[in-house]
Structure 1
Amino acid sequence: MLKQNLQLKLSQKLSPQQIQLMKLIQLPTLAFEQRLKEEMIENPALESGKEEDINEMDEFDNNDEFDDYDNERIETEDINIDEYLSDDETPDYKLQANNYSQDDDDYESPIIASVSFHQDLLNQLNTFILDDQERSIAEFLVGSIDDMGYIRRAISDIVDDLAFTQGIYTDEETVTQVLQIIHELEPAGVGARDLQECLLLQLRHKTPSESVEFAINIIQNQFDAFTKKHYDKLLLKYGVSKDLLRAAIDEIERLNPKPGGAFSGNNKIIEHVIPDFSIKIIDGELELSLNGRNAPELHISKDYQEMLQTYKDSSKASNAQKDAVQFIKQKLDGAKWFIDAIKQRQETLFVTMSAIMEYQNEYFLTGDETKLKPMILKDIADVVGLDISTVSRVANSKYVETPYGTKLIKTFFSEAMMNDQGEEVSTIEIKKILEHIIRDEDKKKPHPDDKLAELLKEKGYPIARRTVAKYREQLDIPVARMRKKI
């Protein structure tokens, strides 16, 4: 049985403008500039640069004549509707250059033509004398190498794939022989099937010496003991001096476990960090400034304002003219809102960073990370009167330039822990002290986690062993056994 009933419900929803503002606040400098360019392309009523006549939009915001199109009288002969409603807002004559000589050469920006990792390996194959089948197998093997330089597939699988996909019928012995040719290519170690083989290939490319030969012996026969750093077992098994073992380990540590990584890394686009804020110390006081690229000069297009004024002064109306009025008003309203959103973004960024700077005043004056106070998003949100999510958007992807380097803002936030004096200290401070303890330890007998917890307790930071392990992992420091050196 169908029923109809009324139900009242209160709910909060963000308007499209609020959502767009939150997105603008979250954008770092480079992304914000790109968003600004996109908006200026989409809305021709928005222009950059200083505004000659300020507050001209107020006349149109308070004018009700354009709200009722039936009462409008617009002269259709005065305005070309197609010009305003065209998808292309730029006239053709603005896209042409009249001072260009046919004798001039076209200038094009140079483009870097780089050779890919796999193409470089294929080029090296041309220096080897191979028959047609061997070359096809070699090219297939090169195609099976990943970006790190490894072939992570079994030879039997490669043999099957050659038969099914390439129509090449061969055996594992032949593929293994061709793989030896791949192992001769540069960089040394490319085409290895695991780390052990990769290190062996690189060691065999080195100039023979006693330490290199011993390193080959260790990797080939005692790889498991070496990876677990059981140096005492290696000394006992081989009966060699510590100096020779140390020299062999030095040879191994200088090898590249990812031979393809260095090559492929050269082709990646390097992203430069542009700080959104700058903090300077002037006469012992902190001074905060917002990157000028975050504060562009924008204004409403005077041409669009004049168009609207022309409609106001006209005496005849038509449906086409009404559409034009609606179009122009939408563009003008959109441009005005965007300018207001940019100003609000600037204020939000500056106020939030100012609060963070004052909260961490002692750190910014000294640069000592142990001076960082415990600080969570709610602490700053309460100071500036903004929502926690807004503070998070400001801190998450933005950088500040300080006298001690450019820092990611969110790294200043940390949880609090109690020391033996009952005072709240930042977890960043504890991590820094833990890092110093590990740095100064005897690498022949590195401290296990329980010993690290004991040393921290002696310094006034009573934390559990499992917490020490968590902080150590966050600092990307391996366990004691892996820090051991002979």
Structure 2
Amino acid sequence: MLKQSLQLKLSQKLSPQQIQLMKLIQLPTLAFEQRLKEELIENPALESGKENESTHEEDNYADEYDDFDNDRIETEDINIDEYLSDDETPEYKLQANNYSKDDEDYEAPIIAFDSFHQDLLNQLNTFILTDENRAIAEFLVGSIDDMGYIRREIQDVVDDLAFTQGIYTDEATVEKILTIVHELEPSGVGARNLQECLLLQLRHKTPTDAIELAKDIIENQFDSFTKKHYDKLLQKYGVTKDQLRNAIDEIEKLNPKPGSAYVGNSRIVEHITPDFTIKIVDGELELSLNGRNAPELHVSKDYQEMLQSYKESSKNNNAQKDAVQFIKQKLDGAKWFIDAIKQRQETLYVTMRAIVDYQEEYFMTGDETKLKPMILKDIADVIGLDISTVSRVANSKYVDTPYGTHLIKNFFSEAMVNDQGEEVSTIEIKKILQNIINDEEKSKPYPDDKLAELLKEKGYPIARRTVAKYREQLDIPVARMRKRI
């Protein structure tokens, strides 16, 4: 039996404009610039630069954000007649007083490098080889990964040479050609494992007593060396601690990833562009938003005039209606994008301002132990925005401080209670843990249970497993691996 019924349901959905705004807020400076360029290309009604020759008084960011809560984007209320205003300096014109020549785009010259593998092939040309041996050597070079290793079995190489190159050879021949590859620079390239890589580099060094001992240790006592069983090595070789220390020092100078040291490799180096800058001026913290986040944009006057002429035209055919609809869409998009950028600026600034105020003691001193426990909700409550918005700002933005450039999300941390009943940041505890490890006697590093005991003495009663977790987050190895002779 079929039955029809009517139900009322209340639900909340984000409009496409709200979703796009959230995406804009999440973008860091460089990605935002790229998004801006794309919008300028896609929407001819949106133009960059000053709208006219007259100058416009530049307002300070702090003044602009006083009415932040009252200036929200309501896309449903956009009226096309707003674009026909005669105001020469419209409200939506954006400009920042902290924009300087340093923020202008700089086009670096294009520099061409040989790739890592091409450089190795160029070096092969200095060796006299038969055509078949050269083909084998080039195949081996092609098998080297970016770290400089050949992570394949010799038998697999022999099989691939037969199937892909039509070269029928044996393992002994490939091993012989591999010794030629091992002569290439950087030293250690073409190794099949870490032990072979270190040994190849030591063999290229000028022989000394320390080098000879280091070679013997790597070749015959590699397991004891990696596990830092120094007592066994002293007993095995009958040398003094100083002699063993000198040999180990030589090993520690070696590069375990020879391929990564090649300056001409094709890997892209990423440079961080800070989204905010914090300076201490006359004992006060001064926050500024990167000027590249505040472009000058305006709605095209040509499109405004086109719309006006169409509205005044006596024609009323389908082509006319389509043209008006197209122009309206572009003008709506331009107006929304300008308002969205303004709201993005405001959101970024008020969020970072709240973080700076919350962590004022840290930003004034640079002492990480001064960082207060802070979670996303703390900042969201202060500025009256959703936690997800604060997260979008914190997860992808960097701030330039007098103490270096930092990812904003790193200032957030959970709270723990010390023996005085006070809430302290987990970042503070990690900093103290690192200081304890830095000051420990390297010949007898503290195990995790001892570290927990020392932290407890300093007023931070945390469990050994928590110490282990913090130590791993700090990328500090266990006591045995920190041991030095």
TM-score range, shorter chain: 0.7 to 0.9
Structure 2 CA distance, aligned partners of 1:265 and 1:342? 39
Secondary structure, counterpart of 1:236 in structure 2: helix
- 1:79 aligned partner: none
Is it true that 1:225 corresponds to 2:246 in the alignment? no
Kept after mapping to 1: 8 A contact 2:48/2:296: yes
Structure 1 CA distance, aligned partners of 2:51 and 2:79? 14
Structure 1 CA distance, aligned partners of 2:252 and 2:286? 46
Secondary structure, counterpart of 2:262 in structure 1: helix
Q: Which runs of 5+ in 1 are unaligned?
A: 64-107
- 1:453 aligned partner: 452
Is it true that 1:17 corresponds to 2:38 in the alignment? no
- 2:39 aligned partner: 39
Give the letter for the 1:200 counterpart. Answer: L
Kept after mapping to 2: 8 A contact 1:398/1:409: yes
TM-score by length of 1: 0.87
- 2:395 aligned partner: 396
- 1:383 aligned partner: 382
Structure 1 CA distance, aligned partners of 2:251 and 2:169? 36
How much has 1:385 moved relative to structure 2?
Answer: 0.9
How much has 1:124 moved relative to structure 2?
Answer: 1.1
Is it true that 1:365 corresponds to 2:386 in the alignment? no
Structure 1 residues 389 and 256: alpha-carbon distance in aligned structure 2, compared to 1, 3 A threshold: same
- 1:200 aligned partner: 199
How much has 1:7 moved relative to structure 2?
Answer: 4.0
How much has 1:287 moved relative to structure 2?
Answer: 2.0
How much has 1:397 moved relative to structure 2?
Answer: 0.9
Kept after mapping to 1: 8 A contact 2:83/2:304: no
- 1:187 aligned partner: 186
Kept after mapping to 2: 8 A contact 1:275/1:406: yes
Structure 1 residues 448 and 316: alpha-carbon distance in aligned structure 2, compared to 1, 3 A threshold: same
Structure 1 CA distance, aligned partners of 2:342 and 2:479? 53
Structure 1 CA distance, aligned partners of 2:331 and 2:219? 74
How much has 1:49 moved relative to structure 2?
Answer: 2.3
Give the letter for the 2:123 counterpart. Answer: Q
1:257-268 equivalent positions in 2, closer than 5 A = 257-263=256-262, 266-268=265-267
Structure 1 CA distance, aligned partners of 2:264 and 2:358? 39
- 2:440 aligned partner: 441
String of CA shifts for 1:61-92, please: whole Å, max 9, x gaps: 499xxxxxxxxxxxxxxxxxxxxxxxxxxxxx
Kept after mapping to 2: 8 A contact 1:147/1:264: no
How much has 1:276 moved relative to structure 2?
Answer: 1.2
How much has 1:270 moved relative to structure 2?
Answer: 2.5
User: Considering only aligned residues, what root-mean-square deviation do their CA atoms show, in Å?
Assistant: 1.9
- 1:270 aligned partner: 269
String of CA shifts for 1:129-151, please: whole Å, max 9, x gaps: 11122111111111111111111
Structure 1 residues 122 and 192: alpha-carbon distance in aligned structure 2, compared to 1, 3 A threshold: same
Q: Which runs of 5+ in 2 are unaligned?
A: 57-77, 85-106
How much has 1:436 moved relative to structure 2?
Answer: 0.6
Q: How many residues align?
A: 440
Structure 1 residues 265 and 468: alpha-carbon distance in aligned structure 2, compared to 1, 3 A threshold: farther
Which has the larger displacement, 275-284 or 112-121?
A: 275-284
Structure 2 CA distance, aligned partners of 1:270 and 1:143? 23
Structure 2 CA distance, aligned partners of 1:385 and 1:109? 42
Secondary structure, counterpart of 2:34 in structure 1: helix
- 1:66 aligned partner: none
Secondary structure, counterpart of 1:113 in structure 2: coil
- 1:214 aligned partner: 213
Is it true that 1:60 corresponds to 2:81 in the alignment? yes
How much has 1:24 moved relative to structure 2?
Answer: 0.3
Structure 1 CA distance, aligned partners of 2:80 and 2:115? 60
Give the letter for the 1:367 counterpart. Answer: G
Task: State the structure with more CA Rg.
Answer: 1
Structure 2 CA distance, aligned partners of 1:383 and 1:300? 34
Structure 2 CA distance, aligned partners of 1:289 and 1:192? 50
Is it true that 1:175 corresponds to 2:160 in the alignment? no
- 1:411 aligned partner: 410
- 1:87 aligned partner: none
Structure 1 CA distance, aligned partners of 2:265 and 2:149? 18
Identity of paired residues, percent? 82
- 2:148 aligned partner: 149
String of CA shifts for 1:112-132, please: whole Å, max 9, x gaps: 221111111111111111112
